[in-house]
Amino acid sequence: MRSRLARCDDVYTLRTALAELERLGNYILPPSGLETIPDQLGGVPCDWVTTGQPAGEAVILYLHGGGFCLRTPYIHGALLGRLGELSHARGLMVDYRLAPEYPYPGAVEDCLAVYKALLDQGMVPGQLVLAGDSAGGNLVLTTLLQARDQGLPMPAACVLLSPALDMAVNGDSAFLLRNDDPFFDLGTLLLMRNAYLNGHNPCDPLVSPLYAELHQLPPTMLHVGALEMLQDDSVRLAARLRRAEVEVDLTVWPGQPHVFPLFYQLPEAREAVDRMAQFIRHFTQPHPLG
């Protein structure tokens, strides 16, 4: 599948172009019975995502991608619904504020507020998993960094899909793969980055968590495509997490594009989602003694 977004001169035109992806139902294959239930936690709009199947106490707090500027609830809802169904967990997606209307730190504040609200409501940290793709993967890490530094408990684990972690764009893959990435070109990535930063320092760890101290973070699973410009963000993060003695499971998928698990028709996407569900179940379900 090759569907590179056309180069746009502003975020509003890009939103119109991205809306076309919401109609790729044949690639997404949403699970039957998919339903979203609006809620609000910590003053932030959220959606519980369910397929009507029985779920346990575990919750997947999902932070969607879209370059901090875009939202595709149908595509991300399908992924979260299926992931929750396979891992016997409830899915909660955060509708954080988007740039350019709300640049940094709007999204960072919203995601932390929801995390705190879940804990305040009695959510058991060992039953909570944070997951996110692209910009959402960035926000997963910034949420964890703030929670750690504020003395809040860590979740059981986190799952990152093609996370965008370096707003300074220092990874080699951003340039070496700029003509191979099926979805994005470098200009589009910089357009969304600049809208989010709004002049803020791109090396601030709360916008580029690759530059943060990464100790005491939960076990982390990473999936990234070998064709995408953001590949090095995941590879470098995995190396830094290992140096910080954090458990890491990284897979670089040959021939795959940015956030390919969204497109469930692909056999690689189905395998990746199955592995994510196993990872979530492993860290959220009680293990028998012995």
What is the set of active-site residues?
134, 228, 258
Q: What distance in Å separates the CA atoms of residue 183 and residue 165, rounded to the nearest whole number?
A: 18
How far are the Cα atoms of 51, 75, 95 from residue 21, in angstroms, in the given order? Answer: 22, 8, 19
- Phi/psi for 85 (5° steps) reads -60, -45
Q: CA nearest 175: which of 157, 165, 187?
A: 187
Question: In Å, how far from its chain's centre is CA 120?
Answer: 23
How far are the Cα atoms of 56, 76, 267 from residue 90, in angstroms, in the given order? Answer: 7, 14, 24
How far are the Cα atoms of 59, 186, 194 from residue 169, in angstroms, in the given order? Answer: 32, 10, 12
Q: What is the rounded (10 degree) CA torsion for 218, 235, 271, 259?
A: 100
Q: CA nearest 227: which of 188, 270, 189, 184?
A: 184
- The set of residues, in sequence order, having a beta carbon less than 8 Å from that of 34 and lying 6+ positions away, is 49, 50, 51, 77, 78, 81
